[in-house]
Structure 1
Amino acid sequence: MKKLKLTGVLILSVVSNIFAQLPDPGFIIDAKTAIVITDPQNDFLSPDGVAWGVVGESVKANNTVANIESLFKIAKQKNMLVFVSPHYYYKHDHTWKFEGTLEVLMHSIKMFDRKNALSTDDFENSGADWLNNYKQYINENNVIVTSPHKVYGPESNDLSLQLRKQGINKVILAGMSANLCVESHMRELIEDGFEVSVVKDATAAAILPGLNGYEAALTNFRMISSHVFTTTEVVEQIKKL
């Protein structure tokens, strides 16, 4: 019994050491690299947004708003493609017959609501609209806005198609929110054959009693993506292109 116990302790120690020294494959930014930003919208990033009460602390701690803007700005300077994957809900989405936990919450607080897919009535400066800081960049020719994703990942929109059609095979991922749409985009893009890195301070997440979405996401970013950047690191690399 003592030998078995010792063996178990040794195995646990070896496994812990392996995880403490996880490999970092790295990520080289080149001409086939694009930035993907999820949900750069008022409901997440504005103090007037419906989710600010739970995400605001994380957004401020990470300087998320300014860091996302830095990505837009350097991409414009270097004519680098940026793909924005937005989150919109229309009237018919509110008739879904079943929903996950946060789908129920988002629908109940009317997060990302728009009147319908073909109308922009009451859209300007609504919760579903872009944060004002970003509009000057999103309107530029180097930015492609995809169709909306509906839950968290890009399986329901045309992001992968748009990336492929532009000859992109490497993605720098940022946006909101870390453990939901950003992480889901990371997972699906990797499964779809893209090389993916994440900018850890150009995202944020909800913090609730006993639940920290940002910390949960950091673990998975490190374990799953090719590399985890800071905004400063990404900007410096893109400057060299």
Structure 2
Amino acid sequence: MTNTSLAAYADPENPALPKVGMDIELGRTALLITDPQIDFLSPKGAAWDAFGESITEHNTVENIGRLLQASKSAGIEVVISPHYYYPFDHRWDFAATGETLMHKLRMFDRRDPLSLEGFDGSGADWMPEYKEFIHDGKTIVCSPHKIAGPQTNDVVFQLRKKKIDKVILAGMAANFCVESHLRDLVEKGFEVAVVRDATAGSKLPEGDAYLAALVNFRWFANDLWTTADAVDRLSRAR
């Protein structure tokens, strides 16, 4: 990773958008990670060709792990919004561009919603680095979202049931699931801080998805942090 490669993502010297900010309040704040799964984040995953460069550039895998560790140490709720596709999902009568690509790549495939046969180590499984945090008996693992946003799963319900109204948001992918979760949470009255280097985007002929998401993060999020900033805030919130 070089300064030159990240120059396009630097904050403007004279921003036009106002600085708002978000404080961490224990009991009211949760870490929400979208799609911390092999198919996005591992060189073995189905989408690595599209996302690998950005993931490497931002040190995304390690940064998500640092967020999980810091959140557990601080004692805040950790919520996972996964992506799974079952055989019947591949029989939809129509699909938009992004979901069509995911189906084509067979991302996040599981054999059955009631069975974990073949799940361990598959593209739908968690990154191995995160399993100790997700399998600790305390992490909230939500039902799967199906395209990008939490409208089709129980993320908002789970947050409300824990009286959470502030969310630290990270995961994959920047302009797809992360941005969609951000937009929906803000519309539903949550404060959201996005951790900018604990996500990544595709780099395709159509454009740099991370850069597109970063612009929108600046517009929609209450705050935009680095992992180092988030970890420091969490350590001081204990």
TM-score range, shorter chain: over 0.9
Alignment match of 2:93 (pick from 72, 93, 97): 97
Counterpart for residue 139 of structure 2: 143
Structure-1 residue corresponding to 2:10: none
| Paired position in structure 2 for 1:229 | 225
Deviations 1:164-221 (A, max 9, x none): 0011000010000000000000000111111111000000010012411000000000
- What are the Cα deviations for residues 58-82 of structure 1, in whole angstroms up to 9, with x where unaligned? 0000000000000110111122111
1:197, 1:226 within 8 Å by CA — same for their partners in 2?
A: yes
Q: 2:163 aligned with 1:178, yes or no?
A: no
Q: Which residue of the other structure, out of 27, 41, 49, is the alignment partner of 2:22?
A: 27
What does 1:1-241 correspond to in 2, within 5 Å? 20-31=15-26, 32-241=28-237
Amino acid at match of 2:186: I
CA distance in 1, matches of 2:40, 2:170: 13
Taking only aligned residues, the RMSD between alpha carbons, in angstroms, comes to: 1.2
Deviation, structure 1 residue 116: 1.1
Q: Structure 2: how far apart are the matches of 1:116 and 1:26?
A: 42
Distance, in Å, in 1 between the alignment partners of 2:228 and 2:15 is: 25
Deviations 1:23-45 (A, max 9, x none): 01101011101010000000000
Task: Give the 3-state SS of the residue equivalent to 1:37 in structure 2.
Answer: strand
**Where do 4+ consecutive residues of structure 1 move more than 4 Å?**
none
Q: C-alpha distance in 2, partners of 1:24/1:238?
A: 20
- Unaligned runs of at least 5 residues, structure 1: 1-18
- SS of the equivalent of 1:240 reads helix
Take 2:137 and 2:226, find their aligned partners in 1: how far apart are those partners? 26
- Number of aligned residues: 224
SS of residue matched to 1:20: coil
Q: Deviations over 1:71-111 (max 9, x none)?
A: 11011112211100000000110011110011111111110
Select the structure that is richer in helix.
1
Task: Point out where structure 2 has 5 or more consecutive residues left out of the alignment.
Answer: 1-13
| Partners of 2:138 and 2:65 in 1: CA distance | 14
Percent identity (aligned): 51
How far apart are the structure 1 equivalents of 2:166 and 2:216? 19
